[in-house]
Amino acid sequence: MSNPINPFLWFDDQARAVADFYVATFPDARGTTLVVSGIFNSPTGWPEDIAFVSLSTARDFLNKGDVISSVDIKLKDVYQADAAARSLQEYGYKAESWQQLYPQILETLAIESFQNRLIMLLIMIIASFGIGSVMYMLVNEKTSEIGMLMALGSAGRSIRNIFLLESGILGLLGGVGGAVLGLILSLYLKSMEIKMDAPGGQQITLPVVINPWNFVIIVLLAIVLSVIAGAYPAWKASRLDPVEAIKG
């Protein structure tokens, strides 16, 4: 445009109010004079250099005629945008998904997802160390009982398996308990329908997606980490000398 424009202007060539005039020009477009008919504050997430004109003015300015130049499609599953774009391209349309237009958003989501998984894994590893400590103390407390079992003919492998099984049970109980609490919290948040401000000044409901496989993976991972954490105490118990163990 030939004159600097306030980024928050509403342009309308039909305005009759006393306002500033601007001459708008663009390559391959018809130059036109626009009248400032209003000023507004840009909603959160909108570009700061945006201006609005009527549809007829935009068509005349771009010399496009009475045609539709673009169509925005809203999908229920936003991650199906690439597939939808490919389907439209097969019909000869120029279609671009939000992943193609805004790849930085996809990168940000991937980084946040990786961070969440990493934090969850670290929390579970810390909890596994707690289980390992409990098992280590249990071995020390049950030394005489272990010695008597071994004196009665129990093999070291059997003693080891007993403590590994106990570690797995602790991990199972902790994983199931955490999964149940997480499910209850997720259902509560879903029922609350928490509103969030979205780009463009809109409000959206906080999406709560409950994937059953996430609970299964978490429980299995808790069991595996617990068994690994209890491996050393179990190995120590299996290596005890029966005589020394009975003496305590």
Is pLDDT above 60 for 218? Answer: yes
Mean pLDDT of 94-104: 83
Closest Cα partner for 233 from 128, 160, 168? Answer: 160
**pLDDT tens track for 135-153:** 888 888 888 888 888 888 8
Which of 55-69, 76-90, 127-141, 218-232 is predicted with the least confidence, judged by mean pLDDT? 55-69
List the domain boundaries for the chain: 1-69, 73-101, 103-247
Q: Tell me the pLDDT of the chain averaged across its residues.
A: 79
Buried b / exposed e over 124-150, threshold 16 CB at 10 Å, is beebbeebbebbbebbeebbeebbebb
Is pLDDT above 90 for 208? Answer: no
Please enumerate, as own/partner, the contacts of 125-131 that have beta carbons within 8 Å and a separation of 24 or more: 125/225, 127/174, 127/222, 127/225, 128/171, 128/222, 128/225, 128/226, 128/228, 128/229, 129/229, 131/167, 131/170, 131/171, 131/174, 131/226, 131/229, 131/230
Distance CA 36, CA 40 (A): 11
Give the model's pLDDT for residue 43: 64
Percentage of the chain exceeding pLDDT 90: 6
**pLDDT tens track for 9-60:** 444 444 444 457 777 777 777 778 887 777 777 666 566 677 788 877 888 8
Q: Rounded to the nearest 5 degrees, what angle is found at the Cα of 176, between the Cα atoms of 171 and 182?
A: 125
Ordered alpha helix ranges (H), the chain: 55-62, 81-90, 98-101, 103-141, 143-151, 156-192, 212-229, 231-238, 242-247
Give the model's pLDDT for residue 176: 92
Q: Is the dihedral of CA 214, 215, 216, 221 positive or negative?
A: positive
